[in-house]
Amino acid sequence: MSKIKPSQGAPYARIMGVGGYRPTRVVPNEVILKTIDSSDEWIRSRSGIATRHWASEQETVAAMSVEAAGKAVADAGITPEQIGAVIVSTVSHFKQTPAIATEIAHKVGAGKPAAFDISAGCAGFGYGLTLAKGMIVEGSAEYVLVIGVERLSDLTDLTDRATAFLFGDGAGAVIVGPSQVPAIGPTVWGSEGDKAETIKQTVSWTEYRPGDAKFPAITQEGQAVFRWAVFEMAKVAQQALDAAGIAPEDLDVFIPHQANMRIIDSMVKTLKLPESVTVARDVETTGNTSAASIPLAMERLLATGQAKSGDTALVIGFGAGLVYAATVVTLP
């Protein structure tokens, strides 16, 4: 018989607060058109994107994260000292070590929490949320700060007609804490490594040397990604609804990864979501911010009154890897 004492965690976990930060510089399509042969009409028809935010030199991954985290902490009604773990999902922190989560934890005033980064592309927020839920139920932390943050303008090839217009910068954060009722459903997640080349960094850091190679950028096979997202991710979203015991007509809000407006609209159609469901379409003014896109969209829906506290929301992220994660949550 095991002598290990059982964990003393909460019965369930919930999102308690949300915060977001968008860089001050707004970049319209006209700026992108200076470096690619395209048109505003083409960009909007292909992606639904009209503007995106690009970070200044001062708006670092850490700085944006601290701003978003501060708002989430205040929204949750806790103090930074109560945070037991900090999870940061990003692909655009360019130091291999230490994890940017440790710097963010210190600047937020969290004391000495567990702190680490994860790399799960556009599904990173869902991965972080699932890890946070496990920590709280297991009892290793009472409150967990989960951040999705990107400076994708640093990884954008402005001469690539297929991707130059897609990416934006920003940070989104949530506080996950204990709950007496289910408020974060089972996660349906996974990966399809045979499609890893579909979205990738052009060259590895070991291949890159100043003067020897063009600085790495993100590239993708647009049509392959579109087909995969529309057909396969709609199935994953349905599986998450089924796992949570939620029918489409019981859903209040749908917050998919803000990759492309056409993908979002196609998923809504495939899932047969009723018109009563509020759908996040933050991509129009924020662009694709990868791991930050879901919490940023969530924060905007709540701030504008399009969604309200207690609403039932389906969230799904998908991207490079190819990886994905979907779950049903109660909004804070």
Active-site option among 29, 93, 122, 260: 122
- For strands 83-89 and 143-151, give the pairing: parallel
- Residue 112: count other Cβ atoms within 10 Å of its Cβ: 10
The residues near 315 (Cβ < 8 Å, ≥ 6 apart) are 125, 126, 129, 255, 256, 294, 298, 326, 327, 328, 329
Q: Is 288 a catalytic residue?
A: yes
Mode of pairing for the β-strands spanning 253-256 and 114-118: unpaired
224 phi/psi in degrees, rounded to 5 = -65, -40
What count of residues does the chain have? 332
* Helices first, then strands: H and E counts in the chain: 10, 14
Paired strand residues for 44? none
| Active-site choice (29, 53, 93, 257) | 257
Longest dimension (CA), the chain: 69
Smallest Cα–Cα separation from 297: which of 256, 243, 242? 256
CB 165 within 8 A of CB 32: yes
Helix (H, G, I), strand (E, B) or coil at 203: coil
3-state secondary structure at position 70: helix
26 within 8 A of 111, measured Cβ to Cβ:
no
Q: How many other C-beta atoms are found inside a 10 Å radius of the C-beta of residue 185?
A: 22
Show the beta-strand stretches assigned E in 180-286: 188-191, 199-201, 218-220, 253-256, 278-279
Residue 260 appears among annotated catalytic residues: no
The question of whether 122 is a catalytic residue gets the answer yes
How far, in Å, CA of 132 to CA of 146, rounded? 7
Residues taking part in catalysis = 122, 257, 288
